[in-house]
Amino acid sequence: MLKTILLFFLISSFANAQISGCTDPLSKNYNPLATINNGSCQYASLKIKPQYSKKLSDSIKETSGLISFNNLLWTHNDDHDKTIYGLDSLGTIKRKIILDKVKNNDWEEISQDSTHIYIGDFGNNYAGNRTDLHILKIEKESFLEGNANIETISFQYSNQTDFSPKKQNTTNFDCEAFIVSKDSIYLFTKEWNTSKTSIYAIPNKSGNHVAQLKDTLDTKGLVTGATYLESKKLIVLCGYSKIGKPFLYLLYDYKNNAFLSGNKRRITIKLPIIQIEGIATKDGLHYYLTNESLIRKPILNIPQQIHYFDLSTILQSYLHK
């Protein structure tokens, strides 16, 4: 009788045991027995191309961020222009809203939550020594009414102690991407020296804050944009290598806000040398990306564009499991 009871407990324990491993069927090392994703998935190289690309208006040659909100895609320029442009899916400007109460020093990214739009005035590549890094927090309702209610979230990096001017495009304290969660903002830096991105967190409230370093990811390129579906535990970063090759970097199926604890997949975009700057999605399957104008005569003459991508074959099974 005792042996039977022991055998029963052994079988029950085995049946209820949690097996750690790669849980993504699209990976090279998928373990069908795994019940806990331990972030070990490895992927074959993948290149994707846009379903279409359309030239944008010359009004937004410096397009530098993108969100999907109120049935439009919203973007902005990264220098001086204080206009937020609402686009349709083909990139045609349908609406303009001017934020005349603030200044555009270097707007590098736009993000959102359910009630607010956020604009990151934290471009820092010129000398790496800005001390006025901040994010504008804009109430959506007042924004659409043309009388934006704006708060300011200021910050500095916890591990930046040297503010002496650096040679242009050499600092690791530049930033062009962030996401907004329920109570925090997460910055993804653009590290010119290392081609990595470091993740910093600050509170999602007005005031002066110290951005705390959380983790670092080797993206093998410069991160310039981010889009986030919090309920789906999905982040998609965009950027380009130092020689201008664009890419996406997917982070998904992670634990809590440990964004690097889940699947990490880099995807090459089949486009010529291009400065991808903004990324947005409505459903996690279909994405819009923008690139700014890039002119280096006589070699390069790349116009500002919007690109549409379908990632259903990559993310459908995860988002609808």
Residue 13 located in a structural domain: no
For residue 11, tell me if it sits in a domain.
no
Neighbours of 40 (CB within 10 A): 16
pTM: 0.94
Of residues 6 and 272, the one with the higher pLDDT is 272
CATH number for the domain that contains residue 141: 2.120.10
Say what the pLDDT of residue 9 is.
Answer: 42
CA angle 238, 243, 249 (to 5 degrees): 20
Whether the CB-CB separation of 199 and 216 falls below 8 Å is answered with yes
Confidence of residue 6 (pLDDT cuts 50, 70, 90): very low
Number of domains within the chain? 1
Containing structural domain, residue 65: 23-320
- Any domain includes 115: yes
| Mean pLDDT, rounded, of the chain | 94
* Dist. CA 135–CA 22, nearest whole Å: 37
Reported as a pLDDT band with limits 50, 70 and 90, residue 295 is confident
Residue 43 has pLDDT above 90, yes or no: yes
Question: Which pLDDT value is given to residue 15?
Answer: 44
225-234, 246-255, 295-304, range with the lowest pLDDT: 295-304
Per-residue pLDDT, averaged over 95-117, amounts to 97
50 in a domain, yes or no? yes
Say what percent of the chain tops pLDDT 70. 95
In a domain, 33, yes or no: yes
pLDDT band of 4, cuts 50, 70, 90: low
Q: Which residues contact 298 (CB under 8 A, 6 or more apart)?
A: none
pLDDT in tens, 232-255: 999 999 999 999 999 999 999 999
pLDDT of 299 higher than 90: no
pLDDT at position 300: 80
Average pLDDT over residues 267-278: 95
Exposure b/e, 168-202, CB count within 10 A at least 16 = b: eeebbbbbbbbbbeeeebbbbbbbbeebbbbbbbb
Q: Flag whether pLDDT at 258 surpasses 60.
A: yes
Residue 102 covered by a domain: yes
pLDDT at 99 over 60: yes
